[in-house]
Amino acid sequence: MNINKIIIGGRLTDDPEIRMTTGDIPVCKFTVAVNRGGKEPKADFINCAAFRRTAEFVGKWFKKGRSIVVMGSMRSSSVERDGKKIVCWSLVVDEVDFGGEKKEDTREERKDTDERYFGGERKGETRESNWEEKREASREEKRESPVESYFDDLGERLPF
């Protein structure tokens, strides 16, 4: 049995960055700082990548310093630079949740967010009217995997 499921909670180190793949699929990159605890304050910085609606959700509702809980799987990729093999790890995000409430957030805003992104319909949509379209769109999304193409060109995006 193989299990690759990661759950982390921390704070965003910067505002999330949203881009589109060549297939017009939204990708959101962000880094989460996770405190290790213990006597000395230390943190791990986890690079994350979210796709499609999850990417749009993170880009819209999260900013630098915001507490976040991320669930997904770890992916590694390697590149060769100056004759040395460099292995990079990223968390491919499946689910996102708010890690804690800030004072300016209200319960009404949270309820509205939950309804739009976690099972509620968007305004003007019903489950029955768009069922066939959503099923076909889902099939199209499964044919094209943005995750693989994202990691294929990772070497070109490394800062070192």
* Tens digit of each residue's pLDDT (9 = 90 or more) over 65-108: 999 999 999 999 898 888 899 998 999 999 999 987 654 444 54
Whether residue 111 is contained in a domain is answered as no
* Structural domain that includes position 22: 6-103+146-157
Whether residue 32 is contained in a domain is answered as yes
For 126, residues 6+ apart whose C-beta sits below 8 A from its C-beta are none
pLDDT, tens only, 35-69: 988 888 899 999 999 999 999 999 999 999 999 99
- As for how many domains the chain has, the answer is 1
Whether residue 124 is contained in a domain is answered as no
Strand partners, 30: 48
Whether residue 89 is contained in a domain is answered as yes
CA dist 141 and 25 (Å) reads 9
Which CATH number covers residue 64?
2.40.50.140
Whether residue 17 is contained in a domain is answered as yes
Cβ–Cβ under 8 Å, residues 82 and 142: no
- Nearest partner of 25 among 153, 157, 144, 131, judged by Cα: 144
CB atoms under 10 Å from CB of 23, counted, come to 11
CA dist 23 and 146 (Å) reads 8
Strand partners, 80: 85
Whether residue 76 is contained in a domain is answered as yes
For 82, residues 6+ apart whose C-beta sits below 8 A from its C-beta are none
Enter the pTM of the model.
Answer: 0.64
Whether residue 22 is contained in a domain is answered as yes
Whether residue 136 is contained in a domain is answered as no
